[in-house]
Structures are given as C-alpha cells and as structure tokens.
C-alpha cells in the first residue's frame, strides 16, 4: 500500500457550477470555498502532511476584473476568519506564487504565513498567482545568481515548493484533462486523477475514494 504524504489539487469548475445553479460564476466560487474547508478537514483525518491547492493562476489575470476582485475578497475574508482555526488545528499556511497583489492582500498573506509558521500537522501550500513556468524561471535565475550548477537537486531547491516532497497524487475536478501550468516539474511521477464533478460538488467521500484507489497503485518510477 502506498502512503499519501502530499496531495495536489486543481480546484476547477466553480464558474460552471455557479452558472448552472445560481446564474452567477461568482456564487460558484463562494460555494467552492465550502469544498476547500471539507477537503482540509478530510486531509487531516487521513493524516496527510502536505496539501497544495491551486487557487489562482498566472493566467487567471485574463479574467474580468469583477471576477478577480470577487475572488480576492473571498480570499481576504477566508484568511481573516480562518487563521485562528488554523492555529487550533496546527495548520501551517504557505503561499506559492509571486506575491504581487495589493499592499493590503500582500500584508494579509505575509501575516497569515507568519502566524501559522510553527504549526506542524498539515502544511497547506496555497497557489496564488502561481504558474509553473514562471516558478521554473525563478528557480533557474536563483541558481545563476548563487553561482550554483544546474541539476535536479538545485532546481527543486529554488522552487516555491522547496523542502517538501513532490505530490504523490494530483486531483483535477471539473472534467478537464490538462495541467494548466501547475507544478510541471513536481508532478513528474505523480498519479493523476481527473474527476468529472465540478469543485463545489466534490466531497469527502469522493476524496476518500481517490485516496483508496491511489494506495493500491503500483508505482514503477521506470522500474518494473
């Protein structure tokens, strides 16, 4: 049986859910946040150490301003309301991606990371303004700046996910079969699960089913 240390999730399908049930993409994002809470709880129950959630990509800036503002308002409220609970549950928050938001959001993100830095049970990597290609460029530039050689160890060391094991599995909800510039280096040997359900409909039972399936997979890493 494989053990699960690190789960990465592309939380896709909020917009379509919102249009289908509430005639509003934004209400889909709001509903999707409830799934985030459920999956965090279920991850702790399953003793998962690392949970990496794709919340906003470097490409998502192409969306209408109204939707982007709504998303960052949701994020702001979420962090303001949840950090004390994160501390109670020993959840550490780390942002992966470039923090070039408004000063208000940047300050809140830094403060939230700082307040939870000592927590040990679950590390949540929240991917915000995250793009894998830009992360790799950032890594290469740091290698050059520090006059190090280009090798696997150094490339990994300068990624935003430094010091944590690569994801054991990736889940993408929303019935779309692509990576959308997420963790291209780190997913080299992850097991990938594409889920038909839209993110707001995804639940603990669906998650547990995927985890059980994962545990039984024979992972070869090129061997036989």
Q: Report the site for ligand IPE in 152-181 (rule: CB under 6 A).
A: 174, 176, 178, 180
β-pair type (191-194, 91-96): unpaired
Name the binder of 11 from ligand IPE, Mg ion, none, CB < 5-8 A by kind: ligand IPE
Q: Which is nearer to ligand IPE, 56 or 214 (CB)?
A: 56
Closest CB 101 distance from ligand IPE, rounded Å: 14
Using alpha carbons, list the distances in angstroms from residue 167 to 125, 145, 164. 11, 28, 9
Number of residues that bind Mg ion (CB under 5 A): 1
Does 195 bind Mg ion (CB under 5 A)? Our answer is no
- Residue 9's alpha-carbon distances to 61, 193, 198, 219, in angstroms, are 20, 10, 13, 20
Q: Is 12 a catalytic residue?
A: yes
Which residue bears the tokens 């547990």? 208
The full DSSP string for 87-108 is: HHTTEEEEEES---S-HHHHHH
CA distance 83 to 93: 9
Torsion, Cα of 200, 204, 210, 212 (10° steps): 180
Q: Which does 71 bind (CB under 5 to 8 A by kind): Mg ion, ligand IPE, none?
A: ligand IPE
The correct pick among 4, 7, 9, 12 for binding Mg ion (CB under 5 A) is 12
Site size for ligand IPE, by CB under 6 A? 18
Q: Which stretch binds Mg ion (CB under 5 A): 11-19, 73-81, 112-120, 199-207?
A: 11-19
Stretch in the footprint of ligand IPE (CB under 6 A) among 50-58, 115-123, 137-145, 208-216? 50-58
- Residues contacting 166, CB < 8 A, separation 6+: 6, 186, 187, 188, 189, 190
- Choice between 28 and 168, CB closer to ligand IPE: 28
Q: Which residues bind ligand IPE (CB under 6 A)?
A: 10-16, 54-57, 59-60, 71, 174, 176, 178, 180
């Amino acid at each position: 049986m494989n053990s699960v240390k690190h789960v990465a999730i592309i939380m896709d399908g909020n917009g379509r859910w919102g249009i289908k049930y509430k005639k509003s993409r934004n209400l889909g994002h709001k509903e999707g946040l409830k799934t985030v809470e459920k999956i965090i709880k279920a991850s702790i129950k399953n003793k998962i150490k690392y949970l990496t959630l794709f919340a906003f990509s470097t490409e998502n800036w192409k969306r209408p301003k109204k939707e982007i503002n709504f998303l960052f308002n949701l994020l702001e409220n979420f962090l303001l309301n949840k950090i004390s609970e994160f501390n109670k549950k020993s959840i550490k928050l780390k942002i992966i991606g470039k923090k070039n938001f408004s000063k208000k959001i940047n300050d809140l993100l830094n403060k939230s990371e700082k307040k939870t830095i000592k927590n040990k049970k679950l590390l949540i990597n929240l991917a915000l303004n995250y793009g894998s290609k830009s992360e790799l460029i950032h890594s290469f530039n740091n290698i050059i700046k520090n006059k190090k050689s280009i090798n696997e160890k150094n490339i990994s060391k300068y990624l935003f996910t430094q010091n944590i094991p690569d994801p054991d599995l990736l889940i993408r909800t929303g019935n779309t079969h692509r990576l959308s510039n997420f963790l291209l280096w780190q997913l080299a040997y992850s097991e990938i699960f594409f889920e038909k359900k839209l993110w707001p409909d995804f639940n603990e039972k669906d998650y547990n089913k995927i985890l059980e399936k994962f545990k039984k997979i024979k992972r070869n890493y090129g061997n036989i």
